[in-house]
Amino acid sequence: MRVAIFASGNGTNFEELAQHFQAGNLPGELALLFCNHPDAPVMGRAARLGVPAESFTVKESGGKLAYEQRVLAVLKQYRIDFIVLAGYLRVVGPTILDEYDHRIVNLHPAWLPEYPGLHSIERAFNDGRTQTGVTVHYIDADLDAGPVIAQCHVPILPDDTVASLEERVHATEHQLYPLALREALLAAGEKEY
């Protein structure tokens, strides 16, 4: 199975997953990084790890529909079977969703359905919660609402700051995502698409 990772920024989760693929800990082949910000640090990580990368913006594509059609063409060019979102800060629209039904997974820094969307860690912290979490889920047409694959709670400690909580959430992401992704890839590998 040929896998693409979509990312938009720094790429720590991308690098973690890429190393798992390269070590043989995840089934399939990491065949592509797609990034919607050509200057994002994740592009340098992909180059250093030898992962093919493609990047272009919505604006340079002429709008969201044209962008998604262009992304889909890239996915077909690389013969991608499965998509992994790792800090991809765009909503995936129907052009791609319809083609990859139940074959796109996302990592979200909250215990969904709590705190969908952006700034989830900060929102949980500011609400005075005693815990938040990390969720790996399939995506669908609704924001952060697809079927859950795995979740893990992260305590919010009395002496936490947003930065210290963020650090623990990211450490949990790096542990949970490879395990949940392995499960999703194995399940997808048993189906014919």
E-strand ranges in the chain read: 2-7, 29-35, 53-55, 82-85, 104-108, 131-138, 148-155
| Alpha carbon distance 5, 119 (integer Å) | 22
Establish whether 106 is an annotated binding residue: yes
Exposed, middle or buried: residue 127 (CB in 10 Å: 0-12, 13-18, 19+)? exposed
Query: Other C-beta atoms within 10 Å of 20: how many?
Result: 18
Catalytic residue among 20, 37, 108, 170: 108
Tell me which H or E stretch contains 42. helix 41-49
The number of angstroms, rounded, from the C-alpha of 82 to the middle of its chain's C-alpha atoms is: 12
**Can you name the residues that pair with 151 across neighbouring β-strands?**
135
Establish whether 50 is an annotated binding residue: no
Active site residue 137: no
Establish whether 12 is an annotated binding residue: yes
Catalytic positions: 108
Residues annotated in a binding site: 11-13, 64, 106
Binding residues for (6R)-10-formyltetrahydrofolate: 64, 106
